[in-house]
Structure 1
Amino acid sequence: MRYLLLFNLLCVTTITLAQSNTISGYVRDRETGESLIGANVFDKSTLKGTTTNHFGYYTLPLSYSEVHLVFSYVGYLPIDTLINLNGNVELSIRLIPQSMLDEIVVTAEEDLVDMPQMSRIGIPVDQIKSLPALAGEVDIFKALQLMPGIQSGSEGSSGLYVRGGGPDQNLILLDGVPVYNASHLFGFFSVFNADAINNVEVIKGGFPARYGGRLSSVIDISMKEGNNQKLKGTGSIGLISSKLTLEGPLKKEKSSFIVSARRTYIDILARPLIKATTDGGETAGYFFYDLNAKVNYTFSDRDRIYLSTYTGDDKAYARSKDFYISDNTRYDYKDEFGLKWGNITSAFRWNHVFTPKIFSNVTATYSKYQFDIFQEYYNKSTTPTETTEDSGATRYFSGIHDLALKTDFEFTPHIDHQLRAGASAIHHTFNPGILAYTASNDADTTLGSSKTRGLELATYFEDDWTISKAIRVNAGVHFSAFNVNNIWYQKVQPRINARYLFDSGLAIKASYATMAQFIHLLTNSSIGLPTDLWVPATKNIKPQYSSQVAIGVAKNITKTYEVSIEAYYKDMTNLIEYSEGASYLDPQKDWQDKVSTGNGVSYGTELLIQKKTGRFSGWIGYTLSRTERTFPDLNFGKTYPYKYDRRHDVSLVGIYKLRDDFELSATWVYGTGNAVSLPEERYAGQGQFNGGPGRPTYYFYDELLYYPSRNNYRMRAYHRLDVSVSKTKKKKWGQQTWSFGAYNAYSRSNPFFMDIGYDRSGNKKFKQYSLFPIIPSVRYNFEF
Structure 2
Amino acid sequence: MKRVIIFLLLGLVFSTISAQKIKLTANKKPLSEVLIDLRDNYDFQLSFNNNLLSTYIVSINQSFSSKDETIEFLLRKLPLNYEKSNEVYLIYPEERIIQYRIFGKILDKESLEPLPFSHLTINNSPMATDERGNFSFTSEIDSTFRILASHLGYFILDTLVNQGANQNILLSAASTDLPEITVTDKIVQTFIKMGNQAGNLKLNHKIAGFLPTNNDNSVFELLRLQPGILAAGEQKNDLIIWGSYEGESQVLFDNITLWGLKNVYEDIGAVNPLVVKNIEVLKGGFDARYGDRVGGIVYITGKNGTRLKPTLNLTLNNITASGSYEQPIGKQSSLLLAFRQTYYNLFKDQQIKYATSNLNLQEQGLDQEAELPGLAALNVAPDYKFHDLNFKFTSNWENGDNFSFSLMTGEDRYSYDITTDVYANAKKHKFEGNNQFGASINYGKVWRNGNTSSLSVSRSELDTRTSDVLTINRIRTNEEFYRRDDESTNSILEYRATLKNSFVFAEDQNFETGLNYINDEVNLKEDSLGINILHIKSKADRIGYYFQNNLNVSSGVSIKAGFLANYPIALKKVYWEPRISISLLLSDKIGINGAWGLYKQFITKSSVLSENGDFRYIWVGANEKDIPVLESVHHVLGASYNNNGFTFSVEAYYKKTDGHTRYYKFRNEGNISLGKSKSNGLDVFVKKDIGDHTLWVSYTLSKTLENFDYFSSNNYRRALHDQRHEIKTAGLLSLKPFYISANYIYGSGFPIYSSQNKVVAEPNYTRLDAALIYKFYPKKTKCEVGILFHNILDRNNITYESYEKIPLNQINSISIYTETVPSSIRLYFKITI
1:643-722 equivalent positions in 2, closer than 5 A: 643-659=720-736, 661-678=737-754, 707=756, 709-710=757-758, 712-722=759-769
Q: Which amino acid aligns with 1:413?
A: F
Which has the larger displacement, 361-370 or 604-613? 604-613
Pick closer, same or farther for the CA change 1:213–1:372 going to 2, 3 Å: same
The one-letter amino acid paired with 1:675 is: P
Q: Cα offset for 1:779?
A: 1.1
Identify the match of residue 228 of structure 1 among 302, 307, 318: 307
Confirm or deny that 1:559 pairs with 2:559: no
| Structure 1: distance between partners of 2:346 and 2:709 | 50
Q: Is 2:115 the partner of 1:31?
A: no
Q: Deviations over 1:94-119 (max 9, x none)?
A: 3333446876646666x74xx2x111
C-alpha displacement at 1:640, in angstroms? 0.9
Cα gap change, 1:372/1:462 in structure 2, threshold over 3 Å: closer, same or farther?
A: same
Instruction: Tell me which of 384, 388, 405 is aligned to 2:497.
Output: 405
Deviations 1:312-343 (A, max 9, x none): 11124699xxxxxxxxxxxxxxxx99642111
Counterpart-to-counterpart distance in 2, 1:76 and 1:105: 6
**Could you tell me which amino acid in structure 1 is paired with residue 311 of structure 2?**
K
Residue of structure 2 in register with 1:122 after alignment: 202
- Out of 506, 509, 523, the residue aligned to residue 590 of structure 2 is 506
SS at match of 2:392: strand
- Determine if contact 2:706/2:717 at 8 Å carries over to the other structure: yes
2:715 to 638, 642, 650: 638
Which residue does 1:265 correspond to in 2? 343
Name the SS of the counterpart of 1:448 in structure 2. Answer: strand
Q: 2:442 maps to what in 1? A: 349
Q: How far is 1:609 from its partner?
A: 1.1
The letter of the residue matching 1:775 is S
Residue 687 of structure 2 is aligned with which of 592, 610, 616?
610
**Cα distance change on mapping 1:618 and 1:416 into 2, 3 Å:** farther
Structure 2 residue aligned with 1:325: none
Cα pair 2:155 2:189 within 8 Å, conserved:
no
- Superposition map of 1:378-777 within 5 A: 396-435=488-527, 448-484=534-570, 487-503=571-587, 505-524=589-608, 532-538=617-623, 539-556=625-642, 558-580=643-665, 593-612=670-689, 614-659=691-736, 661-678=737-754, 707=756, 709-710=757-758, 712-752=759-799, 771-777=820-826
1:467-517 deviation line (CA, Å, top 9, x unaligned)? 011421122111112234xx3343211111112333584322221011000
1:754 Cα deviation after fit: 8.9
Distance 1:108 1:563, change over 3 A: closer
- Report the counterpart of residue 129 of structure 2 in structure 1: 52
Equivalent position amino acid for 2:604 in 1: H
- Structure 1 stretch displaced more, 726-735 or 60-69: 60-69
Structure 2 Cα separation of the partners of residues 600 and 298 of structure 1: 46
Please give the root-mean-square deviation of Cα atoms over the aligned residues, in Å: 3.4
After TM superposition, give the deviation of residue 266 of structure 1 in Å.
3.1
Determine if contact 1:286/1:317 at 8 Å carries over to the other structure. yes
Partner SS, residue 227 of structure 2: coil
Partner of 1:9: none
Structure 1 unaligned regions, length at least 5: 1-16, 272-282, 320-335, 377-392, 439-444, 680-706, 758-762
Residue aligning to 1:11: none
After superposition, where does 1:36-115 map in structure 2 within 5 Å?
36-43=115-122, 46-63=123-140, 64-85=142-163, 88-98=164-174, 99=176, 105=189, 112=195, 115=196
Mapped partners of 2:705, 2:633: distance in 1: 15
Contact 2:516 / 2:544 at 8 angstroms: preserved in 1? yes
Q: How has the CA–CA distance of structure 1 residues 107 and 132 changed in structure 2, closer, same or farther, with 3 Å as cutoff?
A: closer
Q: What residue in structure 2 maps to residue 694 of structure 1?
A: none
Deviation at 1:186, TM superposition (A): 8.1
User: Matches of residues 111-260 of structure 1 in structure 2 within 5 Å?
Assistant: 112=195, 115=196, 117-133=197-213, 137-152=216-231, 154-155=233-234, 157=236, 159-185=238-264, 189-251=268-330, 253-260=331-338
Q: 1:176-230 CA distances to partner (integer Å, 9 max, x unpaired)? A: 1211122143886420111111111110112110000101101101110011111
Per the TM alignment, residue 38 of structure 1 is displaced from its structure 2 partner at its CA by 2.8
What TM-score, normalized to structure 2?
0.73
- Compared CA separation, residues 471 and 375, structure 1 to 2 (3 A): closer
Distance in 1, matches of 2:817 and 2:108, equals 49
Match of residue 288, structure 1, among 380, 383, 386:
386
Q: Is the 8 A contact 1:754 1:766 kept in 2?
A: no
How big is the shift at 1:614?
A: 1.9
- The 3 A distance-change label for structure 1 pair 41 and 122 is closer
Cα distance change of structure 1 residues 618 and 423 upon mapping to structure 2, 3 Å threshold: farther
Letter in 2 for 1:201: E
CA contact (8 A) 2:147 2:158 kept: yes
Structure exhibiting the larger radius of gyration computed from Cα positions: 2
C-alpha separation in 1, matches of 2:436 and 2:609 = 20
What is the count of residue pairs matched by the alignment? 662
Shift in CA distance, 764/89, structure 1 to aligned 2, threshold 3 Å: closer
Distance 1:722 1:363 in 2: 40
Contact 1:75–1:101 (Cα < 8 Å) also in 2: no
Q: Offset at 1:568?
A: 1.2
Displacement of 1:68 in angstroms is: 3.4
